[in-house]
Structure 1
Amino acid sequence: MSQAPLDDTSLPVVPEQQLRAARSINDYAESAARYVTTGQQGAVNTQRAYAGDWQRFTTWCAEHDRESLPADVPTVAAFVTSLADSNKKVATIQRHCASISKAHQLARLPTPTDDRQFKELMEGISREKGVRQKQAPAFTLAYFKRALLGIDSTRPDGLRDRALLLLGLAGAFRRDELASIDIKHLRFDEDGLVVDLPHSKTNQKGEAEEKAIFFSPDRRSCPVRAVKEWLTHLEKHGRTDGPLFVSFHKGQRLSRRRLSTFSLNEIVQLRLGAQYTAHSLRASFVTIAKLNGADDSEVMNQTKHKTTDMIRRYTRLDNIRQHNASQKLGL
């Protein structure tokens, strides 16, 4: 017995409220997927490093006629072996492994770096090559002050560089944090300066994070005064918002371009010496503060490190006569 075809009147009626609810749920699902992707991708600097490492891996796979995604364990093992044989640092090899792992995770594919035999390979590479990372050297406070005196503060770039170095040291800033500071992030009061950090390596969620910078008795090495002097120069040229540290055109003319982390590194090396990097400002903060009796919690309050283990790794007490218990034997 055949059935009569359904007409519109025989279809179930879905209330408009239920339709809106269904659309709302779909919207939530799309947002949730976006949040998951953001969480998986990580910080901008990390994404950039992973992208470069992934490009190297895919190029290597193409040259050796291997599949990069999904990659099998023998392919990744051969790749990291080639890196090790070309004298790449263990940290560099580990970062490449992390980028390969991240690419497979984002593609919802099994991660070849989780394989037990692959982990044994990495353990062998680490043991043979050693895992000690090359650290940015720290400078002494006396050396730093001498370098400041050599900066010509009558020049606009001298004003900028002096403020950059003093703020970078006093605030124990990472170079990407220092580069990202805007004028609106600065708050002055009778005690000095508070810098708001919208984002940092340890603050990816945009939670409130601040760094306090204090007045120094010595005007020549006072970070607060140095920043104020640089701000005064910016204001004279109509700059009351935007990036704090910018580059110059020829003839010491201000540009609108924010200093890059690469440029920050160049400024540190120009003013302090080629042996130092922008990260030396942060490393030196830890070392100088510890030598002057600061405890780990005080240091971590400024560096925003999460563990004391990181503070001990950052502390550059390279001179065997510094911080040495031999002086306390009473001989």
Structure 2
Amino acid sequence: MADEHYHSLIVPRHDNALTREMVTLNDAAMEYIEHAMAHNTRKSYLSDWRHFEEYCQKRNLRHLPAEPETVANYLSELAKGTADETGKKRKTSTIRRRIITIRKFHDLWMSVQRSQAKEKGISFQEMLNPADSVAVRETWKGILRKEGERVTKKRPLTAEIVTAICREIPNDLQGIRDKAILTLGYAGAFRRSELSALDVEDLEETGNGLWITIRQSKTDQTKKGERILIQYGQSNETCPIRNLRRWLKAAGIRNGAVFRRIDTSRKEVWPHRLSPQGIKDTIKRVAKKAGFDEEDFAGHSMRRGFITTTYALGHHERDIMEHTRHKSLQVFRGYIDDLKKTENNPTSNMGI
């Protein structure tokens, strides 16, 4: 089923013979467009686009196709905190994503116009995507110079922190599930979306450990699938395989979604899959319960912690990347920048 906003996307004609006509993308076209990107990415784009639409509507401005000045002013107001009634100044990372969203929606709009014009034998007047205009590019440069682009990274969940948290997790139904999420997420360097999507059918326990098939991920949108091996842990309390076994047995899960929502008042497992947001909330909750600042951690902390720990232990970058499913060495090294700076640091042994 197509997302509602995509499904009902009606785009007006540009200045040509088709100006008065409207075109609605059919179900099949929208379904393929949606599957061209990850679900969470699509949700972010839709949310961003709705915000831009509302901004334009309140100012009686056209949003599709938008004028370059409209987009440039929108970015400026996002940075200043005047784009909506919240008064919130947006981070440069958010503004960057809004530019990408506006560009993608205009690319889609122009593609439809071009196709429809060709079918009717009418010439289509090409136009510059407003997100690529000089006004927008210069506004974006100015925002970066003035506001900067500081990246705030979440704290990694290292082996020591995972162990400390596990000690504080109670042995009730929710605790058994949470411990399985934490230890499996750490050992598999999982993204929260990957953990959420796991099914029992993706698991295969052997004498060597647990083979897990990841059917789709951020770096595998075409669903080729990847298999990783997780071996047995040294401690019974933090072993991801044993914790997963305990959870599946306690929850009575034999097929379908591995991690599910729980009715804590009735102590019942629901059939609904735990969402990526639910995975993130779980990590924050168990970290807080163990005495850590929950704001320091997020779902990505498990993945960051695995990379940080294994690199510090001396594992080769290539082997870690194979396990974490990283395709880019540059992206991977972003996780270990701080560690690399401590190796053979030029300020060591300076004699002062």
For the aligned pair, the TM-score class normalised by the smaller chain equals: 0.7 to 0.9
Structure richer in helix, relative to its length: 1
Deviation string 1:243-267 (CA, Å, 9 cap, x unpaired) is 1001111231111111112221111
Deviation string 1:119-172 (CA, Å, 9 cap, x unpaired) is 12212211221123221211332222111111122x111111111000100111
Task: State the partner residue of 2:259.
Answer: 245
Among 318, 321, 326, the alignment partner of 1:297 is: 318
Among 105, 114, 122, the alignment partner of 2:140 is: 122
Range with bigger deviation, 246-255 or 183-192: 246-255
Q: May I ask how many residue pairs the two structures share in their alignment?
A: 296
Counterpart amino acid of 2:52? F
When the two structures are superposed, what TM-score results if normalisation uses the length of structure 2? 0.78
Cα distance in structure 1, aligned partners of 2:63 and 2:223: 34
Among 51, 59, 64, the alignment partner of 1:64 is: 59
Among 198, 214, 230, the alignment partner of 1:197 is: 214
For the 8 Å contact 1:283–1:316, the answer to whether it is kept is no
Distance 1:309-1:253 versus aligned 2 partners, 3 A rule: same
Range with bigger deviation, 55-64 or 204-213: 204-213
Cα distance in structure 1, aligned partners of 2:135 and 2:56: 20
Please state how far the C-alpha of 1:201 moved relative to its aligned partner.
0.7
Alignment of 1:288 with 2:283, yes or no, is no
Find the residue that maps to 2:62 and give its secondary structure.
coil
Please state how far the C-alpha of 1:72 moved relative to its aligned partner.
0.9
Find the residue that maps to 2:221 and give its secondary structure.
coil
Please state how far the C-alpha of 1:51 moved relative to its aligned partner.
0.3
Question: Please, which runs of 5 or more residues in structure 1 have no aligned partner?
Answer: 1-29
For the 8 Å contact 2:196–2:275, the answer to whether it is kept is yes
Distance 1:318-1:97 versus aligned 2 partners, 3 A rule: same
Alignment of 1:170 with 2:172, yes or no, is no
Output aligned runs, 1:182-221, within 5 Å.
Answer: 182-221=199-238
Cα distance in structure 1, aligned partners of 2:30 and 2:297: 40
Counterpart amino acid of 1:69? L
Range with bigger deviation, 226-235 or 52-61: 226-235
Alignment of 1:222 with 2:204, yes or no, is no
Alignment of 1:55 with 2:50, yes or no, is yes
Task: State the partner residue of 1:144.
Answer: 162
Alignment of 1:107 with 2:128, yes or no, is no
When the two structures are superposed, what TM-score results if normalisation uses the length of structure 1? 0.83
Range with bigger deviation, 273-282 or 108-117: 108-117
Deviation string 1:308-330 (CA, Å, 9 cap, x unpaired) is 1111212274798x656369749
Deviation string 1:280-319 (CA, Å, 9 cap, x unpaired) is 1111111111111122211211211111111121227479
Distance 1:186-1:38 versus aligned 2 partners, 3 A rule: same
Cα distance in structure 2, aligned partners of 1:312 and 1:319: 9
Question: Please, which runs of 5 or more residues in structure 2 have no aligned partner?
Answer: 1-25, 82-88, 112-126, 289-293
For the 8 Å contact 1:137–1:276, the answer to whether it is kept is yes
Find the residue that maps to 2:266 and give its secondary structure.
coil
For the 8 Å contact 2:310–2:320, the answer to whether it is kept is yes
RMSD: 2.4
Task: State the partner residue of 2:118.
Answer: none
Output aligned runs, 1:83-102, within 5 Å.
Answer: 83-86=78-81, 87-102=89-104
Distance 1:62-1:142 versus aligned 2 partners, 3 A rule: same
Please state how far the C-alpha of 1:228 moved relative to its aligned partner.
1.4
Task: State the partner residue of 2:13.
Answer: none
For the 8 Å contact 1:247–1:259, the answer to whether it is kept is yes
Find the residue that maps to 2:43 and give its secondary structure.
helix
Cα distance in structure 2, aligned partners of 1:224 and 1:91: 37
For the 8 Å contact 2:72–2:135, the answer to whether it is kept is no
User: Could you list the runs of 4 or more consecutive aligned residues of structure 1 that deviate by over 6 angstroms after TM superposition?
Assistant: none
Cα distance in structure 2, aligned partners of 1:99 and 1:255: 35
For the 8 Å contact 2:157–2:186, the answer to whether it is kept is no
Task: State the partner residue of 2:71.
Answer: 76
Counterpart amino acid of 2:242? R
Distance 1:78-1:142 versus aligned 2 partners, 3 A rule: same
Among 260, 263, 271, the alignment partner of 1:256 is: 271
Find the residue that maps to 1:256 and give its secondary structure.
strand
Cα distance in structure 2, aligned partners of 1:269 and 1:31: 39
Distance 1:42-1:93 versus aligned 2 partners, 3 A rule: same
Distance 1:326-1:216 versus aligned 2 partners, 3 A rule: farther
Cα distance in structure 2, aligned partners of 1:248 and 1:38: 30
